[in-house]
Chains A and B, each alone.
Chain A
């Protein structure tokens, strides 16, 4: 269970407050106008950005001061998820051991993860030899081997075409089902939310709402969301 307790975020003119709880195993989309602070909120949860006040709790434990790696979350960024000088295998292996001293077992785990994301036989390629969709799959394979109970997606599919993006979302959906991890996913597209996130947090006008039913929210959008959706 992830709890944001009276979190206040400030950076120059920018301001955002958040106070909500996400149940374990939930899949939640963060939507809202660009610049509202969706990514920043994710960065606070992941530990890259300190809030001015408030606490981040995981299963009741205060993790506000913990460095990113000691938090229970795996994260995918918008870009630069892969190290260009490493093969797909090694990029996935980093999720098991960041020093890359992999045992034979670890290698099997990596191979299984690559199989699972549909990259059988491509493990020895470097990112530049893979398509955009394949690169995302490598990154997802790494999230898979990380076995973190919380997965944060900061629009890693933004660069993909609609069909490919849908494919990736379905893959994420299935992976989450298999691992039972909690998912928080930034998106600016309500169809993404509809596709895999039963719940949605609206980030707008300096405030992040508590998770709400995605269908209900989109069907009867509040003013801020309506402006954003253009409906």
Chain B
């Protein structure tokens, strides 16, 4: 009798769980933090889906992919959110992702037709400086000037890798020479974006590698107009952040629903002031005013996903050679 009651209890709980399915999304840590888009996105999506949306944070984009590789097909994730175009080729190669069914009119500087990944936001890497700073206009000028910069290590940081690809796409075979020229401008190389930005704010350098959207944070959150992103004549390297559905998901419909929700006005209007990036689809209400003051690069640079890995390894070797002397 006792066992029967116990079994009934178990059954009751399992049915209860079955009634509200769980959608598990792996993403980078800052997405799920109290100050990232996570909480608002979760609330908004759960209103529409009658499900339990669970975010699982894992370091940054690259750690996210590493974790997925560790777990392989056994992963609990239904969706991985937060890879960028530097990682999508390697992610596709794992064979863990399955094509999505989303079609949308993206407001991206490039055409998007990737069958596996749906973009949700994007931005440009840029050096951020004080507004009144007399900043150089390109990498060669920067190398010749005595402007000091703090950058991130491409081996441990996404923006660091972005800069590596930026110089490589802009200068090709001359990239190593550019780096050699920059070596006396580099105050130091940090593990991640936070450390670099922190050093810059402490006055350790004239400029720091960040995003063109960074000044918007200071204007909106701090009413501080003293920071500006520096336009470079070579153009700016882009980061497009994407999400993909896993082939092994037990909630394929729910996963599709979330990817669709990602392109909705609700989701897209959360992005600018929580992730401080451009939304992949312009919300109806447009962007906050502060975004109008941001620089808009004349030329967007991006390595096609399939070439990213090969170019990355070559660029890293050059970077190490140039800066280790």
- Do A and B touch, yes or no (CB under 8 Å, in the complex)? no
Point out residues on A near B: beta carbons under 8 Å. Answer: none
